[in-house]
Structure 1
């Protein structure tokens, strides 16, 4: 059984904080840099200097604890107000979080950038990165992701706004003004060291819920990372299922209910990955040189969203399904697997329930392959409060097999990669935010998602999800169809047509002749530890 002593202690001062636990800020900037290979010494100095400014796991968790304490203070003040012991509104959210105004930095390097920056005695170590996607870059692998092979088509890498830059900087901030001031200073610093900024874009939360441009809450279903940190050995991912008789193994499997805990080696180099059982640690994963420990691969995708095309698809599909009285809203929920609020179709197939959508203790609790039995939580409440727990849905009569959330994570249902829980080794840590204005504010504007994910195998995690599951009509389980939301059909001769069959409408086939999400930039990178950034990439060249 998994106990705190068995989960590895993570070095919080070495791991970049956007890998774990993630910045999760409402404002973000992404900067792509080009190396000047005639002035590498200055750039190595920058690597050495910037190491002390990169935000670590320790820093992020320190703020996370502060925010939790302040939120608890706010809740206590609210109770006091309700009981008449304090004035209503005396302590609002702005007051509680007023002191939390961070600006955080993460930095990652492409394979060619590592090759250029490493000193002569370390340069050959780049070959130890065994992932072919990292070695080749995203443009060379784009058709494997399902991107168009024809340069004339939108989405071809020749049309991207940014393609395989040398370095990617990710900055997260609580305040937009603070982010702007930080960027002004950062640009000056980069110019002084000879870097060229080849791309820059801002991301931002669209609303309080965290919706993306199609109108659905994003980021609900993140894996929990096993591991401990700090002098007290606290869990990196908090546990919300009460450890009591009759609730095992769930209390050892989950962070939040339904949030499966994954061993850190699936995301961090040099740590144990998944074993044959979710509770058992597997072998240490170090698919790179010795100095790659505590690092992670970063996949960046600038994804443009065609909101008009998505809405038109929902309206046309509703007309096709008119005999079954299916609304555009219901089709959208089935395509995503969630209603706009985030409420899962698995728990509320007939209507959106906003209260469930924003309830972190219940909005991700369902299994597909088995009944989700009622659990007692650490606060004494149960998972079935106000709403019944989800029943098993192995063939997709409630939440269709083609739903996006089901295409990327089959949970306890068997899939083409194996039996129950075979998706554990395919999980990724998703970061990123939308860019561009809301559709109703400016329909003609460019908008989409600045997608970021961390993993220890680009091929077996990020690319697998795109190619093998989202872009395939039969996988991870049939009868299914394509991922109609994000997936791309790159199969030769199929003209990029995506299709799905609606089981509750007599198996009626819906088709989308155009993509709603179009690749518009990207690259593959390695995010090093603080020591590797300072002492390996920032080491002075010998003999020069």
Structure 2
């Protein structure tokens, strides 16, 4: 039974009190799931097992090095304290100067779990995508079916036919030298245990604000996870910044605009989202009993064609001008494709020009709705919101319906799945960082075009969260609302036998312009579906020899 803070009535609206939230088992959950490493440096290592006895021994020896939620939270608190002492804003992405952490998490494929368990209860994992694997479901995501295409699994660096990974090790660190040392140690230990290294990549933030290679600040909108950290008194995992006098908003948000989501959407064994965001549905473990405190991990190595994206934007901006959208430029079209300006400032709040101050302000840069004018909220700590309010934009006159941020999160607008906030159950915990050097402004390209995103997400269902967003919303021209078009940033055209062409519309009060993309600018080059077990499951279940052996 999940520990709840109190036994009061679950209906917050009936009692006039905030809904009770579960207390996390912080020594069991791996730290990159919750609260997330959030380090400026990241590395990934994909491994293939040799004999099972060696694999179990390697896994057992690795367990003491696996970073827990408890360890991660302790470091995050140090970061907050240091920023406070230095006068750096609480939401800053600036790295702490005194920390030199090196963290490790590990996830396993369905095949490797089944082999380690001797078959056994691995079949109890209910997620079809996890059991099948990414490569065999690649076409469902809209990846190219042409075997000669770069994005087809046949050409992936790992994860394709004959290159499926059994284990994925994710590393995070404050400093490059420390990360590289840990990376080398993990590789050396894996090779000594007769594992094969299929792939290894080291990456990290391109700048202090966390821009990705197309030039847009990444990671602005993360779901706020409900739940409590143990202690006297317990504290919220996701800090609450809306003044307690603003009810029910103070119960709905962490940061303004950051919807609070029940943790069962991400971690097995905790209350799950229901139709009412304040009322949790029962906890679930859609797998074997030992899967509690675990989470599914999706890894995709996504190459970003920066030159191609910019050329597409310039070409289509000129076409939109011909269609009557005067003033459209390549840079402005890129902003419409994303839904935010490069600084992270949302189109919804500043439709005419970028505002770097807004983009860098975590108390304001995600505070907007689409269905109606967004009211300002009273904030704790004497903070205010001095920026223009977001106006109602239900049909996408300001932020297009096909903008990436609207395709993955409809916020307060109803969609093909239901009414307001029907996207709650589709959210992901995104933990990826860029790989490769920035695109050069002049001169030769040291990466020869190979730069992009080490995409990593955690969720309780690959089918209903990661795959749903990719296939049902981003890759569908009429969902979640129509008329919209494809997500031209990440979405693929998965229609059987269709050309790779994707389209969307830019709607203004008197003009509707059509944008056409003839080629992908984000290309999958590797990946896999994995499960991130609890610490005790790693130690006592997966590293142990099953009775059937």
TM-score range, shorter chain: over 0.9
Question: Match for residue 242 of structure 1?
Answer: 243
What is the TM-score of this pair, normalised by structure 1?
A: 0.93
Question: Match for residue 428 of structure 1?
Answer: 428
Question: Match for residue 341 of structure 1?
Answer: 343
Where 1:6 maps in the other structure, the secondary structure is coil
Q: Quick one: distance in 1 between partners of 2:492 and 2:294? A: 30
Does residue 73 (structure 1) correspond to residue 72 (structure 2)? The answer is no
What is the TM-score of this pair, normalised by structure 2?
A: 0.92
Q: In the alignment, which of 455, 469, 473 is matched to residue 469 of structure 1?
A: 473
Where 2:107 maps in the other structure, the secondary structure is strand
Q: Quick one: distance in 1 between partners of 2:190 and 2:497? A: 46
Asked if 2 retains the 8 angstrom alpha-carbon contact of 1:58 and 1:230, the reply is no
Q: In the alignment, which of 338, 353, 357 is matched to residue 351 of structure 1?
A: 353
Question: Match for residue 370 of structure 1?
Answer: 372
Question: Match for residue 264 of structure 1?
Answer: 263
Q: In the alignment, which of 487, 501, 508 is matched to residue 483 of structure 1?
A: 487
Deviation at residue 502 of structure 1 after TM alignment? 1.1
Question: Match for residue 85 of structure 1?
Answer: none
After TM superposition, the structure 1 = structure 2 runs for residues 128-207 of structure 1, keeping only pairs within 5 Å, are 128-163=124-159, 164-207=164-207
Asked if 2 retains the 8 angstrom alpha-carbon contact of 1:430 and 1:454, the reply is yes
Asked if 1 retains the 8 angstrom alpha-carbon contact of 2:19 and 2:279, the reply is no
After TM superposition, the structure 1 = structure 2 runs for residues 30-429 of structure 1, keeping only pairs within 5 Å, are 30-36=44-50, 39-75=51-87, 97-118=96-117, 120=118, 123-163=119-159, 164-232=164-232, 233-244=234-245, 247-322=246-321, 323=324, 324-383=326-385, 385=386, 387-429=387-429
Deviation at residue 371 of structure 1 after TM alignment? 1.9
Where 1:213 maps in the other structure, the secondary structure is coil
Q: Quick one: distance in 2 between partners of 1:106 and 1:349? A: 41
**Matched residues, number:** 519
Deviation at residue 193 of structure 1 after TM alignment? 1.7
Deviations 1:415-434 (CA, angstroms, capped at 9, x unpaired): 10111000000001011111
Q: Quick one: distance in 2 between partners of 1:152 and 1:100? A: 46
Q: Quick one: distance in 2 between partners of 1:413 and 1:467? A: 20
Deviation at residue 501 of structure 1 after TM alignment? 1.2
Q: 1:535 to 1:4 in 2, by over 3 A?
A: farther
Structure 2 gap ranges (5+): 1-11
Deviation at residue 5 of structure 1 after TM alignment? 7.3
Q: Quick one: distance in 1 between partners of 2:226 and 2:80? A: 20
Deviation at residue 492 of structure 1 after TM alignment? 2.5
Asked if 1 retains the 8 angstrom alpha-carbon contact of 2:19 and 2:251, the reply is no
Deviation at residue 99 of structure 1 after TM alignment? 2.5
Deviation at residue 154 of structure 1 after TM alignment? 2.2
Asked if 1 retains the 8 angstrom alpha-carbon contact of 2:213 and 2:306, the reply is yes
**Mean CA deviation greater in 315-324 or 419-428:** 315-324
Asked if 2 retains the 8 angstrom alpha-carbon contact of 1:337 and 1:404, the reply is yes
Does residue 514 (structure 1) correspond to residue 528 (structure 2)? The answer is no
Q: Quick one: distance in 1 between partners of 2:275 and 2:250? A: 19
Deviation at residue 329 of structure 1 after TM alignment? 1.6
**Mean CA deviation greater in 502-511 or 271-280:** 502-511
Deviations 1:420-466 (CA, angstroms, capped at 9, x unpaired): 00000000101111111111165323011000000111001000000
Deviation at residue 542 of structure 1 after TM alignment? 4.0
Q: Quick one: distance in 2 between partners of 1:312 and 1:187? A: 39
Q: Which runs of 4+ in 1 moved over 6 A?
A: none
Question: Match for residue 13 of structure 1?
Answer: 27
**Mean CA deviation greater in 187-196 or 211-220:** 187-196
Asked if 1 retains the 8 angstrom alpha-carbon contact of 2:349 and 2:389, the reply is yes
Asked if 2 retains the 8 angstrom alpha-carbon contact of 1:304 and 1:520, the reply is yes
Asked if 1 retains the 8 angstrom alpha-carbon contact of 2:320 and 2:514, the reply is no
Q: Quick one: distance in 1 between partners of 2:472 and 2:221? A: 20
Q: In the alignment, which of 31, 34, 37 is matched to residue 23 of structure 1?
A: 37
Q: Quick one: distance in 2 between partners of 1:210 and 1:98? A: 17
Deviation at residue 4 of structure 1 after TM alignment? 6.8
Question: Match for residue 458 of structure 1?
Answer: 462
Structure 1 gap ranges (5+): 79-92
Deviations 1:239-295 (CA, angstroms, capped at 9, x unpaired): 010101xx2111110000000000000000011100220011112121100000000
Where 1:300 maps in the other structure, the secondary structure is strand
Q: Quick one: distance in 2 between partners of 1:194 and 1:523? A: 21
Deviations 1:207-265 (CA, angstroms, capped at 9, x unpaired): 11101110000010000100001223110000010101xx2111110000000000000
Q: How large is the Cα RMSD of the aligned pairs? A: 1.7
Where 1:172 maps in the other structure, the secondary structure is strand
Question: Match for residue 449 of structure 2?
Answer: 445
Where 1:51 maps in the other structure, the secondary structure is helix
Q: Quick one: distance in 2 between partners of 1:541 and 1:135? A: 20
Asked if 2 retains the 8 angstrom alpha-carbon contact of 1:41 and 1:541, the reply is no
**Mean CA deviation greater in 492-501 or 347-356:** 492-501
Deviation at residue 45 of structure 1 after TM alignment? 2.0
Deviations 1:341-398 (CA, angstroms, capped at 9, x unpaired): 0000000011000110010000000011222101111022233x1x122112111111
